Amino acid sequence: MTAQDLIKNEANMVIEEFKKLTYTNSVEVLCDYNNDLNNFKNLPENFSFKKNKSDGHEKLAQMLIDGYNSLKADIKKQYKMEFFKNIEKRCPFCGQLLESSGKADSDVPTADLDHFFPKCDFPQFALFPPNLIPTCMECNRIEKHTDKISPKEFKLALQELNLLNDFQNHPNKRTHFRIYSSLSFDCNNKLFIKTTNIYVQKLIKLYGLEERYNNIRNKSFQILWGMVRNFDIQSPESLENFLKNMASSNWHEINDGYSLNNSPQIWQEFIENILYDECKLMALWEEVKSINMSIF
C-alpha cells in the first residue's frame, strides 16, 4: 500500500469517528469537507470549510489536525521516499538539494513534510496527500498566512510559471511542480528574480526567495574569486575556458561549508553573466592580472 493510501485511510478513520458524534449539522460539515477535497485542484477564491463556521466544523478541524499530528513517522518517511522516487531530490520551492540521510539511493531525503496550505488555516487538507509536499527546512519554517497569498493567487502564480498542470497532478506523476526551475534571473539587477507578475511576486515573497537567492549570488562571487586565485590563468582565453568549465562542472562543490549545488541554476546564470559580457570578462581578467603581478 502506498503512503498516499495510508494517509487517506487515516483521514477516513477520522471521518468515521466524527460521524459517531452528535452534531446537528454533521451533514453540512461533511458536505463542506468533501466539496473542498473535490475542489482542491481548482484552487478557488475561497473554500467552503471554515473551522469556525460551527461547533461541528471546529470539532472536525481539530480531529483532522490531531490525526496528522499522530501520523506515524514511518508513513511520512514512506511518503517522502515515494515523492522523490523518480525525480531529483530538491525542494520544489527553492531548489535546495535535499541530501539523503544515508548512503542508499532508496534512503529518505532530509526533507520536512510541509502542508502547502497550513493545517491550522485549512484543516480539511491536514490529511490530504495533494497538500503534502516535502520541502527543505527553510521553506517549511517560513510563516505562511492566508492573507499573504490566497489559493486563487497561488493558482494565478502557477499559471504564469506554467506549473498549474504539474501542481494539479501532484502527487500522481513522476514530475512534480518545481517553482525554482521556472524562475528567471537577472544578475545585473538589484531585484535578482525577473518577474513583473504580482502573483509570482507574492509567491517569491512568501518563501523569501529574493533575499535567499541574493545571498547565494553574493556567495557565488566569493567562491568564484577564491577559485580564480588558485588556478594558473595566463590569458583572457584561458580565463574564458576556465569559466566555461566552471559553468558546466561541479567544481564549486569542493568548497567547504557551502555547496552551490543547492542552486545550480543561479550558479550557472552567475558564471554565464560574466562569460558572455565582454566588459565583465575583461574586468575580471584585469583583476587576475593584478593577482599574478603581486605574486611575482
Q: Give the pTM.
A: 0.80
- pLDDT for 269 equals 75
The reported pLDDT for the residue numbered 295 is 40
Neighbours of 279 (CB within 10 A): 8
pLDDT of 5 reads 95
pLDDT for res 123: 97
- In the beta sheet, which residues pair with residue 211? none
Taking only the tens place, the pLDDT of each residue in 88-125 is 788 888 888 776 655 555 565 678 888 988 899 999 99
Q: What is the pLDDT of residue 104?
A: 54
| Cell (9 digits) for 37 | 477535497
| 70-94 pLDDT per residue, tens | 999 999 999 988 888 877 788 888 8
Contacts of 65-72 spanning 24+ positions with Cβ under 8 A: 65/119, 65/120, 65/123, 65/126, 67/10, 67/11, 67/13, 67/14, 67/126, 67/127, 68/10, 68/115, 68/119, 68/126, 68/127, 71/7, 71/10, 71/127
Count Cα neighbours of 110 within 13 Å in the Cβ-side half-sphere: 10
Contact indicator for 159, 165 with CB cutoff of 8 Å:
no
Mean pLDDT value across residues 264-291: 78
Are 85 and 176 contacting, i.e. CB atoms less than 8 angstroms apart?
no
The better pLDDT of the pair 259, 5 is held by 5
**pLDDT: is 187 or 291 the higher one?**
187
Strands (E), 151-283: 184-185, 193-194
Mean pLDDT confidence for 36-65: 95
pLDDT at residue 296 tops 50 = no
Average pLDDT, the chain: 83
**Is the confidence at residue 8, as pLDDT, over 60?**
yes
Residue spans per domain, the chain:
3-145, 209-295
Return the pLDDT at 258. Answer: 45
pLDDT for 61:
97
Q: Residue 36 — pLDDT band, cuts 50, 70, 90?
A: very high
Got the DSSP string for 127-168?
Answer: T-GGGEEEE-HHHHTS---TTTS-HHHHHHHHHHTT-HHHHH
Higher pLDDT, 68 or 228: 68
pLDDT at 251 over 60: no
Q: Render pLDDT for 131-165 as a digit per residue (tens, 0 to 9).
A: 999 988 888 877 655 557 889 999 999 999 999 99
